[in-house]
Amino acid sequence: MSGVEVLFALLQPSNIVFLVLLAGLLVAFRRRRSGLALLTVGVVLYGVVGFLPVGQLLLRPLETRFPFKGIVEPPDGIIVLGGFIAPLPPYAHNQVNLNDAAERLVAAASLAHRFPDVPVIVTDGGGTRRNRSGAEQAAALLRQMGVPQSQLVLETRSLSTWDNARFSYDVVQPKPGERYVLVTSAWHMPRSVATFHHAGWPELVPWPVDYVEDDRPLWRSLQFSAARGLRQMDEAVREYVALAYYRLTGRIDTWLPGPGA
């Protein structure tokens, strides 16, 4: 995990709400009125972010930038971005553990069966001497789902979307005029497509999955789980921060990439 990711992990919105509540509790021991004011702010933030569709409102522009269009002709490759392996030791409880982004893996398996002669490039690092990389763990699951080893191409070094793009480029060496399906979460697609283009990849067919926003009017999307609302808020803010960081460091060319960007 990079320093930027560590910093955000500490300062993500759900943690800030907790810190405001904690500060209010501590201040209340010495200055009751100020402490109660902070506690009130914390409770309001918790309610607004947790139960109102604030996270969905922020995710909607990201998830609608690259609408799903499908594909008819076989592509030259299928790229699936990692991030769906849960941060637990491989085969804890005798299985590979997945998180909420597991739809990426399912979509990759479906595409692999649909186009059996097309290579599936799985890009995900994070391995150590004791633990296998995310790509290796994903490959084990894909084999269990009927995808042959001969169809799999693994990139095992990447720790970020930027790494996914350049390291998998080095492995695949795509040629001009080729076309690759890119599988990742819908909210992650704008940054992914822009980063892969910047790294030199030719035509990409976005294959967004793992949608959070469901196109209902926001007033009908009230949360009944504060944990879910806080998680969506964290996810949205993290992606906007990542977009800004990638733009400022020259890894993408626009603040909110879209088709043709």
What is the side-by-side order of every strand in the sheet holding 77-81?
152-155, 120-123, 77-81, 179-185, 203-209
d(CA 94, CA 138): 15
Instruction: Inform me whether the pLDDT recorded for 131 exceeds 80.
Output: no
Per-residue confidence at 45, pLDDT binned at 50, 70, 90? confident
d(CA 222, CA 56): 10
d(CA 213, CA 202): 29
> For 11-29, b where at least 16 C-beta lie within 10 A, e where not — what string?
ebbbebbeebbebbeebbe
3.10.690.10, 3.40.50.300, 3.40.50.620, 3.20.20.370: which CATH number matches 68-209? 3.40.50.620
Sequence-distant (6+) residues with CB within 8 A of 219 are none
pLDDT digits over 142-165, tens only? 999 999 999 999 999 999 999 999
Per-residue confidence at 260, pLDDT binned at 50, 70, 90? confident
pLDDT at site 221: 60
Q: Which residue has the higher pLDDT, 183 or 25?
A: 183
Instruction: Inform me whether the pLDDT recorded for 74 exceeds 90.
Output: yes
Q: Where are the domains of the chain?
A: 3-62+222-248, 68-209
Q: Is residue 165 within 8 Å of residue 191, measured between CB atoms?
A: no
d(CA 26, CA 35): 7
Per-residue confidence at 230, pLDDT binned at 50, 70, 90? confident
